[in-house]
Amino acid sequence: MKLPFFRRSRLAAPTPFQLSRARPAARGGLSWLFLLPVLLVSLFVGLIGGLDSPALLLIVVGAVFALLLFVMANLYGLITILFVAAFLVQGSALYFVRMKAAVWVAVGFAIMFLARTLLELLLRRRPRGEDIPRPEGGGVLLAAALYVLCFGISGVINRVPTGQLLSAFKSTLPMFGVLLALYWIRWQPQQLEKLWRLLVVVALIQLPVVLYQHFFIADGRTYDSIVGTFGGTPGFGGNSAGMVIFMLGMLVYALARWDRGLLSLPRMLAVAAVVLAVVLLGEVKAAFIWLPAVTFWVLRKRIMKNLLFMVGYAMLIMVFMASTYAVYKALYWGKNFNKGHTVAEELDARGGYFFDPRSINYKTGEVSRGASLAIWFNDKGSSLPKRLVGFGPGASKPAGGVVSAGEVARRYAPLSIDATALAILLWDEGVLGALAYVALLLAALRLGWKVTKNKQLDPGRQAIAETCVPLLALLLSTLIYNRGLVEECTAELLLMFCIGSIVQIARYSGAAATVAAAPETAPPLAAPAVKSGLARPLHAA
């Protein structure tokens, strides 16, 4: 697929995990061997269809499709499907169709990708002449392993029920497979760039969806109801903050490519216009701080080098903040907004209470971000072991579906003590688990900062590194802003892909892997393949 907003890069050497191909004489035999199971599966599906049970038929067909996809697709194909499922399918189904089970679509593909990654690591062989990865990213892998270890230890010590443990696993761990694949397996630089270009296409798709949600569904009556394809409900809001962070990340990526001559000015401005429109319609107050911070980061060299650029940037930021304030007040806050005499007092009236440690509504169960941490800090039922390893995965999760509420959630009902990701980590995995998770993000940030200083990288990977650092900083700030990093598959996928991209560039950015950008007339990109003999290259499928 040719994306108009970005240039193609010249093909690198074949990936070191290229699939082994069968000999021509054996291909006919293999095809006949595959014919028998295909016929048996078709017969079985036909028999299930004769039972006149659409739900059972859907489950069986889905299982067969997943099995075929697992065997035939390679890692690049699976991660592309995972992106589409997480960023486009599951959120749209949840918002427009009210299908709560849609979250399992992205989770299912994430689990499939994790299983396929583990299988590839077990079966693949290192080709002769392959460069040994650089010893980078050890701190990232160690922090991730420690968090998973804390997750398991907390579950065992607290004897968490199986259903609750599976629910917590589903919400937290499957996306770690993306980090694992990007850490242990070498990907072509063009493969990584193409995945980032796919994310920009997802960002462009948000504009028509957001416009429809604003003018025909939410109409400014419910906060956080403008969520694009990132999940939520029209009446109760949703993942608007995750959508805004994603859009800001794509703005940074477009600016980084423009700054390095990989993207023309008109196309960069088109991406920026879409991002700003979605941010204005999204009504996320943190955008007042997030957008100036990330744009300054990516353009810092231009801004600090020239006084004219510095003055122009300051004026643009002032215009943005004033425009955002006016748009939010006109579209969302309205007459009830004027609760203070100054802008600062009005903003505090609208959002300052979020971090008030005493803001608790016992009637509705609403708990502010600060109060969610204060409740954990002042909890009288926490012994020292509970403080260190928590009450078990899912302990702070309220009842939902077939899973009952966790131990702590029942004790504090009807209060929503899981208002922030940090509060969930402290309740579920304790101080040790929370420290391991924070260490994962900090280690990735430190490695990303180091990668951005590598002058030998090609411009494409420089732009990716410049994007991942501010994105990780924004995602780190959401630990005390919402619970997306341990609850929302879109935020988790974006986080693991950013960390994985940094680790991939740091470990596999030797001189031999450096590829210069090329004109748009370069040959089409070949899909990655893994040397396991279980799948074919994507272009040959």
Amino acid identity of 489?
C
**Average pLDDT of the chain to the nearest whole number:** 80
Give the helix/strand (H/E) hosting 233. Answer: strand 232-233
| 517 three-state secondary structure | strand
pLDDT score recorded for residue 56: 61
DSSP one-letter string for 64-112? HHHHHHHHHS-HHHHHHHHHHIIIIIHHHHHHHS--GGGHHHHHHHHHH
Global pTM reads 0.82
For residue 223, is it left (φ>0), alpha (ψ between -120 and 50) or beta?
beta
Residue 383 or residue 285, greater confidence: 383
Domain boundaries, the chain: 38-72, 138-334+353-509
- Residue 531 in this model has a pLDDT that exceeds 80: no
* Structure confidence by residue, pLDDT tens digits, 25-54: 444 444 555 566 656 666 666 666 666 666
| 527 three-state secondary structure | coil
Tokens at 524, concatenated: 């089409």
Cβ neighbour number for residue 374 with a 10 Å cutoff: 18
| pLDDT band, residue 349 (cuts 50/70/90) | low
β-pair partners for 232: 238
Q: Which ranges constitute the DSSP H helices of 329-400?
A: 343-351, 369-377, 384-389
Amino acid identity of 218?
A
* Structure confidence by residue, pLDDT tens digits, 169-219: 988 999 999 999 999 999 999 999 999 999 999 999 999 999 998 888 865
Nearest to 489 by CA among 173, 202, 228, 198: 173
What average pLDDT does this structure show over 506-517? Answer: 57
**Burial of residue 171 (number of CB atoms within 10 Å: 0-12, 13-18, 19+):** buried
Tokens at 372, concatenated: 């969610």
What average pLDDT does this structure show over 130-158? Answer: 90
pLDDT score recorded for residue 525: 39
* Structure confidence by residue, pLDDT tens digits, 453-499: 988 899 999 999 999 999 999 999 999 988 899 989 999 999 999 99
pLDDT score recorded for residue 476: 95
Tokens at 36, concatenated: 């028998």
Give the helix/strand (H/E) hosting 232. Answer: strand 232-233
CA distances from 137 to 142, 144, 396, 507 (A): 9, 11, 32, 7
- Residue 527 in this model has a pLDDT that exceeds 50: no
pLDDT score recorded for residue 108: 87
What average pLDDT does this structure show over 218-247? Answer: 79
